[in-house]
Amino acid sequence: MNKDLAKERQSSVLRVQELNSFIGRNLFLSDERYKQVLDLKSVLASRIKSLYDENYENLERGQKYELVLKKSLELIEFASEHNVTNYMEYTYLIGEVMGTEKHLFGLHFTMFTISLELWSTPEQKAYWDRFLKENGVFGTYIQTEIGHGTFIRGLETTATYDRNAEEFILDSPTLTSIKFWPGASGKTCNYAIVMAKLIIDGKDHGIHAFVVQLRSLENHSPVPGIELGDIGKKHAYEAIDNGFVKFKNVRIPRNNMLMRFAQVLPNGEFKRLGNEIVMYACMLIMRGILCMFASLLQSISTTIAIRYSCVRRQTADPTGLEPQIIDYQTQQYRLLPGLATSYANFFATIYFRNILNSFRKRSKNFSEIETNELAKLHALSSGIKAIVFDECLKFGQINRLCCGGHGYSASSGLQPVIQEADAGCTYEGDNIVLYLQTARYLLKAVQKGFSPHLELDNLQQIEKSDLFKRFEKYILLFRNLYESQIGEISNRMFILIEEEKLDRFEAWNSSSVALIYINLFIVYMNLNGIYEHQKSECSENQVILEELFELYLSYGIVEKFPNHFLKLGLIDGNQMTDHQNRLYELLKKVRVNAVCLVDAFGWTDSNLASSLGVYDGNVYEKLFQFAKSSLFNQNSENPVFNKVARPYILAKSKL
Ligand SMILES: Cc1cc2nc3c(=O)[nH]c(=O)nc-3n(C[C@H](O)[C@H](O)[C@H](O)COP(=O)(O)OP(=O)(O)OC[C@H]3O[C@@H](n4cnc5c(N)ncnc54)[C@H](O)[C@@H]3O)c2cc1C
């Protein structure tokens, strides 16, 4: 064990095991289930030991694909043997097997199965359940086209009904209609949910979901009429074959349209059943999973950077001693707000997941759902998804910089986190578009005279607590900020739209109100998490979590929204200086427990897949080992150099 890391752990009063149990209990809903998941994780770890490759980042794309395919199949088998059906648990296990690499059948277990579950009629659901059980089906979700992603109504793929054959004919009529990006569609998946424009007798009935076979279950060759392949190298996910798919008059049975909310009868009659907005329910579940995933992902890069910053020593002080880099205030200023944000976003996404679970339980029959509630949840989910991925990306990059040159080595494990967060800012809804959706909802609500306030279950109870009183001055500041901001934007919009007759879309073009709203939500949820923690009676940890919370709040004032606070007159220059000074004090306090706070997330070395974040801190050994296993070092000679450059050297030496 590296002696600096050992000292960090000894000198902190944080009780890591207790905090880890609290996190696990929140994640998996009970202590018992958390323990079971941990047991499963260690069984799985020993089972896939032979597939674990420390040298993964040095492999070529084809080798990575093969390894990830093997691991993905092993994981599916393991999950089915141990009856793991909850996607969050599944994701946790994926981390043990894949590190931060993607799973090839991630979409199969999310968008594909969730769409089948939510959009099928009961008869269709029974049919597809049986079909999936009895066949080796690997599904994906195909929506985006070369020409359109965000604007779903702009999709051009057609599904034209042929009433004589009782079939739909799928077609990609233009270059821009070719499906592009779907995960694992290029080489791997054999079935897909395809989103296409329904046409009956020349009439466009909007976008609907169809189950389409892509490849033969016998020999994996593409189904006639479907041209498909890999889209080529991307910023990340080397092992994943995001694909293109082009349809040429591909026929599928009428029953392959998922008809829970809209039906096409054999005679071609089109019937809409219930409100279109329930289609969002599928997206919501997916968002819940993704938000949680992003908050955990951020805790991974934070763990790596904080551990490394305690091991790394740099630049002699006046006594000649090289300090640990975490002792530089500039390092703390970049690292520790990321730690506070990891906890804040974790608490927020847990709460959000719980709201979604209770919504899902209540809404077995979607026709009875209050559309208002769904719209509100959708607006909240859009904003949370955007902010957690934005922050995961921002702090991932900061963490990379905090690790200096070694952070830039693929062995640091930071690159996949950053790339994953980067992609997450675009997939499942571009973040800017999502902020605008949230803003649109909020401003509409205000203009209809609804309260702009958050309605949270146990808010009143929390507001009566001593904990709330301790943080009241901060919370009121954030609440006032949101109210002032929404008031100002709403007035401005009223003038723009009513008096200057501006296009609504231009007027909506303001996303900061959504950012502030979601930030306020996270503040409350962070408070809620700490409030719940109080019940665990671990007072040492409670004090430390409260310091971390205060750091989150101070950072919000000083770094995230200083201009808004000053411009709206909620804080003056002197008060801002006071907040800045308090932030510096808090950095010192949080620094003392930083290693134990990241240890409490409980990531194993295989989860982190990082030479810099290893638990024992033996960083330099790992780095050197990685360098030696570079493909470039497999041969001590360099035949390529000799072939290409030797003639040049020879020519020079003759001169
Ligand atoms: C790694 C990865 C995996 C993916 N996996 C899948 C998959 O499995 N299945 C699938 O179907 N798709 C998948 N996608 C595609 C993804 O869903 C789309 O890329 C995403 O929805 C964004 O759409 P777009 O690419 O068309 O961006 P665009 O809509 O073209 O956005 C480009 C820019 O324009 C801005 N913009 C667009 N519209 C507006 C607006 N209304 N107001 C203001 N600004 C706007 C955006 O902010 C953005 O900056 C994946 C993408 C990635 C990167």
User: Regarding predicted confidence, which is higher, 282 or 173?
Assistant: 173
pLDDT for the residue 31: 92
Report how far residue 137's alpha carbon sits from residue 215's, in angstroms, rounded to the nearest whole number.
10
| 252-261, 315-324, 482-491 — most confident range | 252-261
Asked whether residue 454 falls in the same domain as residue 577, the answer is yes
154 is in an annotated binding site: no
Does a structural domain hold residue 32? yes
- Ligand 1 geometric centre to CA of 151 (Å): 9
Render pLDDT for 406-433 as a digit per residue (tens, 0 to 9).
999 999 999 989 999 999 999 999 999 9
Helix, strand or coil, per DSSP, at residue 222: strand
Whether the Cβ atoms of residue 412 and residue 610 lie closer than 8 Å to each other: yes
Q: Using the mean position of ligand 1's atoms as its centre, give its distance from the Cα of residue 149 in Å.
A: 5
Task: Determine, yes or no, domain membership for 492.
Answer: no
633 residue type, one letter: N
Look at residue 469 in the predicted model and tell me its pLDDT. Answer: 95
Q: Choose the residue to mutate in 293, 426, 504, 510 for probing ligand 1, maximizing ligand atoms within 8 Å of C-beta.
A: 426
Lowest mean pLDDT among 26-35, 344-353, 423-432, 628-637: 628-637
Element (H, E) at 654: helix 646-654
Question: Any idea which of 94-108, 590-604, 629-643 has the lowest mean pLDDT?
Answer: 94-108
- For ligand 1, atom 24, which residue shows the shortest CA distance? 149
pLDDT at 456: 67
pLDDT of residue 10: 97
Mean pLDDT of 532-553: 93
Mean pLDDT of 525-548: 92
Query: CB under 6 Å to ligand 1: residues?
Result: 107, 141-144, 148-150, 181-183, 242, 423, 426-427, 430, 432-433, 436
Of 198, 227, 259, which closes a domain?
Answer: 259
More confident residue, 288 or 52: 288
d(CA 227, CA 495) in angstroms, rounded, equals: 52
Closest CA to 633 of 622, 621, 646, 624: 624
User: To the nearest whole number, what is the mean pLDDT of the chain?
Assistant: 90
Dihedral sign for Cα atoms in the order 558, 559, 561, 564: positive
Residue nearest to atom 51 of ligand 1 (CA): 427
Per-residue pLDDT, 506: 55
Instruction: Give CA–CA dist 29/26, Å, rounded.
Output: 5
User: Among 87-101, 153-167, 197-211, 542-556, which is the least confidently predicted range?
Assistant: 87-101
* Measured distance CA(93)–CA(152) in Å, rounded: 33
Give the residue, out of 108, 143, 427, 438, with the most ligand 1 atoms within 8 A of its beta carbon, to mutate for a pocket test. Answer: 427
Instruction: Read off the CATH number of the domain in which 587 is found.
Output: 1.20.140.10
Predicted confidence (pLDDT) at residue 91 exceeds the cutoff of 80: no
Give the model's pLDDT for residue 526: 93
* Ligand 1 atom index nearest CA of 144: 11
162 token code pair = 């042929």
pLDDT at 369: 58
Q: Which of 38-52, 230-244, 581-595 has the highest mean pLDDT?
A: 581-595
Task: Tell me how many domains the chain contains.
Answer: 2
Cα 200 to ligand 1 centre (Å): 29
Residue 264 lies in a domain: no
The reported pLDDT for the residue numbered 307 is 98
- Give the model's pLDDT for residue 502: 57
Q: Are 310 and 397 found together in one domain?
A: yes
Catalytic entry in 145, 428, 547, 550:
428
Q: What is the whole-number distance in angstroms between the Cα of residue 426 and the centre of ligand 1?
A: 5
| Averaged pLDDT for residues 204-225 | 97
Mark whether 409 and 452 lie in a shared domain.
yes
pLDDT range class, residue 608, cuts 50, 70, 90: very high
Instruction: Return the higher-pLDDT residue of 297 and 375.
Output: 297
Q: Are residues 297 and 408 in the same domain?
A: yes
Q: Is 154 exposed, middle or buried (0-12, 13-18, 19+ CB in 10 A)?
A: middle
Residue owning tokens 């009429």: 225
Nearest CA to ligand 1 atom 6: 182
Q: Is the pLDDT of residue 94 over 80?
A: no
Least confident of 73-77, 281-285, 577-581: 281-285
Q: Same domain, yes or no, for 181 and 46?
A: no
- CA–centroid distance for 59 within its chain: 25
Q: Give the pLDDT of residue 366.
A: 57
**78-82, 185-189, 355-359, 518-522: least confidently modelled range:** 355-359
Ligand 1 atom nearest the C-alpha of 111 is 8
Q: Is the pLDDT of residue 561 over 90?
A: yes
Among protein residues, the one whose CA lies closest to atom 25 of ligand 1: 149
603: confidence class by pLDDT, cuts 50, 70, 90 = very high
Could you tell me if 129 and 96 lie in one domain? no
| Active site (annotated) includes residue 167 | no
CA 163 to CA 267: how far, in whole Å? 6
Confidence grade of residue 145 (pLDDT, cut at 50, 70, 90): very high
**CATH number of the structural domain spanning residue 157:** 2.40.110.10
What three-state secondary structure class fits 211? strand
Q: Are 186 and 242 in contact (CB under 8 A)?
A: yes
Instruction: Identify which of 138-152, 311-325, 445-459, 528-542 has the greatest average pLDDT.
Output: 138-152
The confidence score (pLDDT) of residue 376 equals 84
Crossing angle of the two packed helices 87-98 and 31-47, in degrees rounded to 10 = 30
pLDDT of the residue at 462:
86
Query: What pLDDT is stored for residue 500 in this prediction?
Result: 64
Mark whether 332 and 227 lie in a shared domain: no
24 is in which domain, residue-wise?
1-105+276-461+518-631
Domain closes at, from 193, 224, 259: 259
Q: Identify the band that residue 311 occupies on the pLDDT scale cut at 50, 70 and 90.
A: very high
- Inform me whether the pLDDT recorded for 553 exceeds 90: yes
64 and 125 co-located in one domain: no
Q: pLDDT at position 634, please? A: 83
Ligand 1 atom with the shortest distance to the CA of 151: 29
Q: What pLDDT score does 88 carry?
A: 78
CA of 421 to the centre of ligand 1 (A): 14
**Token pair in block for residue 87:** 């996607």
pTM: 0.92
Which pLDDT band holds residue 316 (cuts at 50, 70, 90)?
confident
> Are residue 154 and residue 220 in the same domain, yes or no?
yes
Of all helices (H) and strands (E), which one includes residue 481?
Answer: helix 466-494
The more confident residue out of 286 and 482 is: 482
Task: Look at ligand 1, atom 40, and give the residue with the nearest C-alpha.
Answer: 433
How many angstroms separate the CA atoms of 519 and 117, rounded? 33
Whether residue 478 lies inside any domain: the answer is no
Tell which atom from ligand 1 comes closest to the C-alpha of 429.
21
Q: Is 103:95 a contact under the CB 8 Å cutoff?
A: no
What is the separation of C-alpha 411 from the centre of its chain, rounded to a whole number of angstroms? 22
* Sequence-ordered list of residues with C-beta below 8 angstroms from that of 420, at least 6 positions apart, any chain: 100, 102, 236, 297
Q: How many angstroms separate the Cα of 521 from the Cα of each of 241, 380, 540?
A: 37, 9, 26
Q: Residue 214: name the closest of 254, 242, 186 by CA.
A: 186
The closest alpha carbon to 338, from 421, 435, 281, 225, belongs to: 421
pLDDT at 87: 77
Provide φ and ψ at 617, rounded to 5°: 75, 10
Instruction: In whole angstroms, give the CA distance from residue 19 to residue 650.
Output: 66
The residue-averaged pLDDT of 293-297 equals 92
Classify residue 54: in a domain, yes or no: yes
Ligand 1, closest atom to CA 148? 26
- 420 lies in some domain: yes
pLDDT tens profile 466-509:
999 999 999 999 999 998 888 888 887 777 766 666 556 555 55
144 is in an annotated binding site: yes
Judge whether 341 lies within some domain.
Answer: yes
pLDDT at position 8: 98
Q: Atom 33 in ligand 1: which residue has the minimum CA distance?
A: 430
Question: For 168-205, what is each residue's pLDDT tens digit?
Answer: 999 999 999 999 999 999 999 999 999 999 999 999 99
Q: How confident is the model at residue 605 (pLDDT cuts 50, 70, 90)?
A: very high
User: HSE-up of 4 (CA within 13 Å, CB side)?
Assistant: 18
Residue 325 has pLDDT above 90, yes or no: yes
Residues in Cβ contact with 144 at an 8 Å cutoff, skipping those fewer than 6 apart: 179, 180, 181, 182
Closest atom of ligand 1 to 149 CA is 26
337 and 367 both lie in a single domain: yes
561: CB partners within 8 A, 6+ apart: 481, 516, 519
Report the pLDDT averaged over residues 216-234. Answer: 96
CA of 506 relative to ligand 1 center, distance in Å? 20
Question: If we measure between CA atoms, which residue out of 618, 544, 636 comes closest to residue 2?
Answer: 618
* Spatial distance between the Cα atoms of 421 and 414, rounded to a whole number of angstroms: 11
Is there a single domain that holds both residue 146 and residue 206?
yes
Tell me, yes or no, whether 68 and 197 share the same domain.
no
CA angle in degrees (0–180, nearest 5) for 59-61-66:
85
Question: Measured between alpha carbons, how far is 306 from 95 in angstroms, rounded to an integer?
Answer: 20
Compute the distance from residue 144 Cα to the ligand 1 centre, in Å. Answer: 8
- Of 122, 154, 165, 141, the C-alpha closest to 273 is 122
Orientation of helix 16-28 relative to helix 329-362, angle to 10°: 30
Indicate if the pLDDT at residue 459 is higher than 80: no
Q: Whose CA is nearest to atom 42 of ligand 1?
A: 433
413 in any annotated domain? yes
pLDDT digits (tens, 9 = 90+) for 19-52: 999 999 999 989 999 999 999 988 988 888 777 7
